[in-house]
Amino acid sequence: MLVKALASSSAGNCYLISDGSSSLLLECGIPLKDIRRKGVDLLGLSGCLISHEHKDHSKAAGDVVKYTHIYASAGTLQHLDLGPYSYRSTAIMSGKQFKVGSYEVVPFELQHDADEPLGFLIYSREVQKKLLFATDTFYIHNQFTGVNIVIVECNFDSALLKKAVDDDAVPRPYAKRLWGSHFEISNVKEFLRQMDKSRLEAVYLAHLSDGLSDAKRFRKEIMEVVGVPVYVCDK
């Protein structure tokens, strides 16, 4: 299964996955022209899954919907402006499995300050692999088994956040919000530690925060927990 991060930061998030039979866009938080520039064949997509309505995840929804079907929770959809193309969107629900191309997708609840945010467990019938996608959440309630690939947010480190607050590099209201809305590395580690890793092949760390994260160290620390290759998604 091919995983490609087109963008992964608070400025914009967009990932492409493909199993050789069909491809999916996960999030569309960068302008359409950037998605195109990264070489995505928009008409060839089977669909686009959006986790929540914040602009760094849904900016291009109004343009992407012209090329492919959009899947998001009802809460998310009501904040997206799809104009006359809204008929090409489907409201999905946590726990309700649905089909897109050669994939089976099960959405699950995330913990973020958005309207009904969702994560996705994506199974490819073509290559029989499971991919877990969870970003913008401060913990994950559900458990998963036999996952092959994990794309998970690893936003910040508590020590770096504390230092940034002391140096006034980060406004206090922002620091206050982070704890209840984004994944801190020790919590990510705990999540991965408890997860069934029998079939795990790779972990992708997404949505690293500018200045509050250290890509090299995060990669090393997560690798120590999972024992499989860990990649940090490009900004």
Partner 1 sequence: MQKPVQAQQKPLQPQKVFEFEKNISDSVQNRITELAQDRRLVLPPNYSVGNALASAWLILQNVKDRNGQPALKVCTPQSIANALLDMAIMGHNPAKKHGYFIVYGDQLTWFPSYFGKCASLKRIDGIEHEPVATLIYDGDEIVLEHNELGEEIIIEHKTSWQNKLKGDIVGAYATVDFKGVKRSAVMSMKEIKEAWTKNPSPANRRDHTEFTGEFAKRTVINRLVKMILQTSNDDDLLAETIVQNEDQHWDFTDAQIVSEENKAKREIATNANAGKIIDVTPEPTSAPEPKPTPEAKPQPEPTPEPAPAPKTEQQTLIPKSPWE
- Please work out, in degrees rounded to the nearest 5, the angle formed at the alpha carbon of residue 9 by the alpha carbons of 192 and 19: 65
Q: Is residue 69 involved in binding partner 1 (CB under 8 A)?
A: yes
Q: Is residue 22 involved in binding partner 1 (CB under 8 A)?
A: yes
- The only residue of 140, 151, 185, 212 in contact with partner 1, by rule CB under 8 A: 140
Four-point Cα dihedral 152, 209, 30, 15, nearest 10: -20
- CB-CB contact of 20 with 211 (8 Å): no
Q: Is residue 44 involved in binding partner 1 (CB under 8 A)?
A: yes
Give, as ranges, the residues between 207 and 226 that touch partner 1 (CB under 8 A): none
- The one-letter code for the residue type at 206 is A
Quick one: which segment of 19-27, 56-64, 210-218 binds partner 1 (CB under 8 A)? 19-27
Q: Is residue 227 involved in binding partner 1 (CB under 8 A)?
A: no
Nearer residue to partner 1 within complex by CB, 79 or 214? 79
- The one-letter code for the residue type at 124 is S
Give, as ranges, the residues between 162 and 191 that touch partner 1 (CB under 8 A): 165, 168, 171-177, 179-180, 187, 190-191
The total of other beta-carbon atoms located within 10 Å of residue 91's CB is 15
CB of 120 to partner 1, least distance (A): 10
The count of C-alpha atoms lying within 13 angstroms of the C-alpha of 118, restricted to the half-sphere facing its C-beta, is 27
